[in-house]
Amino acid sequence: MTAPPNQDDRNLGLTPTDVGLLATPLDFIAEDHDRIRNMCALIEYIADRPETHPEIVAQVSSFVRSELPALIADESSDLLPLMQRRCQPEDEIARLRTRLDAEHDTAMYLLPDALETLDALEAGRDDVPEASLHLLRNFAAHLHRHLIFENAILIPLARARLTPDDLNTLRARMTERRGLTQSKDRDDAP
């Protein structure tokens, strides 16, 4: 079994994003984006080396199974609707939302097959087809391209347009989504 290059867990993306960052939800999302970028590199590493240690594959699989869908929901269900309220016409938020929704849909469409491949690798199967490994690489590449777009456009625009009340709403929804607390007031939902 092989392990990735000698780095600490945080640099590899194996350590979950600190929930304390939920106090500043856009910072949490930005940190999660850094984590996804690292996970993409790990997914590519795993696809190129199917004999990667099962513990590492399990951690990547856990992230893809639970944390990635939560982040996508944060953005699709909460961040983008809040931004639609605040953005100016020149921000072209409808066009941005159409693109991001399509990219999120693609990620969620690819996710089950990526998980199936990761689960097979975690189980130590040596008969994982090259086509499945190729799909895993495509999944990572899609996520990486998506992050570049979000980090360049979505996050800076959100920082410029969202109000403190919007950020409080976003924080409450993200915290609730992670089962950390119940939202006190659902009337401010987007």
Other CB atoms closer than 10 Å to residue 103's CB: what's the count? 20
- CA 50 – CA 20 distance, rounded (Å): 35
Question: Which CATH number is associated with domain 23-182?
Answer: 1.20.120.520
- For 109-159, the pLDDT digits (tens) are 999 999 999 999 999 998 999 999 999 999 999 999 999 999 999 999 999
DSSP character for 181?
S
Confidence (pLDDT) at 185:
46
- CA 47 – CA 45 distance, rounded (Å): 6
Confidence (pLDDT) at 41:
93
Residue type, 32: D
**What is the three-class DSSP state of 172?**
helix
For the chain, the average pLDDT equals 89
- CA 190 – CA 187 distance, rounded (Å): 9
Inter-residue contact 82 to 168 (CB < 8 Å): no
Confidence (pLDDT) at 19:
85
Q: Between 58 and 16, where is the model more confident?
A: 58
Please compute the mean of the pLDDT values over residues 56-78 and round it to a whole number. 94
- For 123-136, the pLDDT digits (tens) are 999 899 999 999 99
- CA 74 – CA 29 distance, rounded (Å): 9
Confidence (pLDDT) at 12:
58
Inter-residue contact 57 to 44 (CB < 8 Å): no
Q: Is the four-CA dihedral 59, 19, 78, 177 of positive or negative sign?
A: positive
Please compute the mean of the pLDDT values over residues 43-71 and round it to a whole number. 92
Inform me whether the pLDDT recorded for 173 exceeds 90: yes
Share of residues in the chain with pLDDT > 70 (%): 88
Residue type, 21: L
Q: Domains of the chain: which residue ranges?
A: 23-182
Q: What size, in residues, is the chain?
A: 190
- For 74-109, the pLDDT digits (tens) are 999 999 999 999 999 999 999 999 999 999 999 999
pTM for this prediction:
0.84
pLDDT band at 10 (very low <50, low <70, confident <90, very high): very low
> What stretch of H or E contains 7?
none
